[in-house]
Amino acid sequence: MQPLPWPAEDMSGRLLAWYGRNGRDLPWRRTRDPYRIWLSEIMLQQTGVTAVIPYYERFLAAFPSIAALAAASLDQVFELWAGLGYYRRARFLHEAACRVMSEHQGRFPDQLDVIMALPGIGRSTAGAIVSIAFDRKGPILDGNVRRVLCRLLAVSGAPRSREVEKRLWQLAEMLTPENRAHDYAQAIMDLGATVCTPRRPDCAACPLSALCQAFWQGLQEQLPQRGVRKSVPLVRQVALLMHHHGRYLVRKRPLAGMLGGLWEFPATTVPEDGEPAAAARALLIEEGLSCTLEPVGTVRHAYSHFRVELFLFACQGTAAGRVAEEERRWLSLPELAEWPLHGSHKKALALTLRQG
């Protein structure tokens, strides 16, 4: 491990002094409750602060404690999460709350390895909880911190490659102080979010510019190096907008797998060389339903690992076939507006509402 080019205390001292003057006032910073800090960290994964705040406040109003969250149904959790995306986070949050109640007597653990054993909590999130809630050294490496460290020490290479990842964790460990870990964790995240931004970093306002190797080498715009962007596959699907007396048929996805536990209109994938209308007719038979299909439009949506082109077919059916099963419901349009549908099917609902 290469030594730092300056004392770690110099870096943390400058950063903490800056944070004392410039730290953001956020709802989860007004508490040391590990439940609330954990919730904020999970919500902030893949989602910006401005979008998270109203969800955070509504979620806590409904589930003010770990016990309340564990006692809720997964559908209730999804309903409060609807719109934040990446619903796997909500499922793991609920599962972890149940584990805290059953395995830790309702008290959120304070040890890094024990926290990491809970569903949906990785090394960086666990470090943030340990630092912010318990004020103990817990190195973090979220996207903002990763960018700050890559520039501060002029670390080249793809930031998420195994070799660079290892180097960044070593740096995070060396730079995180034993004292004031609570403030340091929030300070370095704030620096990345507000000053050391992905594009056009504000080096003139940065408290670490005198130490920053990328700044002195003129590399702040080139670091971190961008990895090769993977192509995102396009999946063609059909969905049935089956309605009966003002209600629409929806079904719940299996808990295991992509978008587990969320709801959707009956849907299936169109074969590679197939036609959407033929796939819709086959799905109708599979669902044990019979009616005339009418194409009503197409919606497109991007998930984290693929894109969907969803062909919509309306039809008027009855409550026959498999509809009586527990994981299928007939719901009105107002009910569907509050129901935890996943992304492309929310757009399908919006199109249905527009068309009257």
Active-site pick, 41, 173, 326, 327: 41
Last residue of a domain, which of 186, 216, 246?
216
pLDDT of residue 324: 47
CATH code at position 138: 1.10.340.30
Residues 72 and 192 in one domain: yes
Same domain assignment for residues 211 and 243: no
Average pLDDT, 10 consecutive residues per value, the chain (356 residues) = 89 98 95 97 93 96 98 92 86 97 97 97 97 96 96 93 94 95 97 96 97 96 83 92 91 85 93 93 85 92 88 79 66 90 92 82
Q: In this structure, are 115 and 255 located in the same domain?
A: no
Last residue of a domain, one of 216, 242, 263: 216
> What is the predicted pLDDT for the residue at 217?
96
Check which CATH number belongs to the domain holding 299 and give it: 3.90.79.10
Residue 50, in any domain of the structure:
yes
Q: Are residues 164 and 58 in the same domain?
A: yes
pLDDT score, position 338: 85
Do 190 and 251 have their domain in common?
no
Mark whether 191 and 44 lie in a shared domain.
yes
Does 209 share its domain with 242? no
Query: Taking the mean position of all CA atoms in its chain, how far away is CA 72?
Result: 20
Regarding whether 243 and 127 lie in a shared domain, the answer is no
Q: Please indicate, yes or no, if residue 157 is contained in any of the structural domains.
A: yes
Q: Is residue 224 a part of any domain in this protein?
A: no
Domain membership flag for residue 228 = no
- Same domain (yes/no): 197, 240: no
Decide if 338 is catalytic. Answer: no
Domain boundary among 162, 186, 216: 216
Domain that holds residue 200: 8-216
Residues 172 and 266 in one domain: no
Classify residue 93: in a domain, yes or no.
yes
Same domain, 212 and 238: no
Task: Read off φ and ψ for residue 246, nearest 5 degrees.
Answer: 80, 5
Q: For residue 24, is it within any domain?
A: yes
pLDDT in the model for residue 356: 64
In a domain, 222, yes or no: no
Same domain, yes or no, for 26 and 117? Answer: yes
**Domain presence at residue 266:** yes
Q: How many domains does the chain have?
A: 2
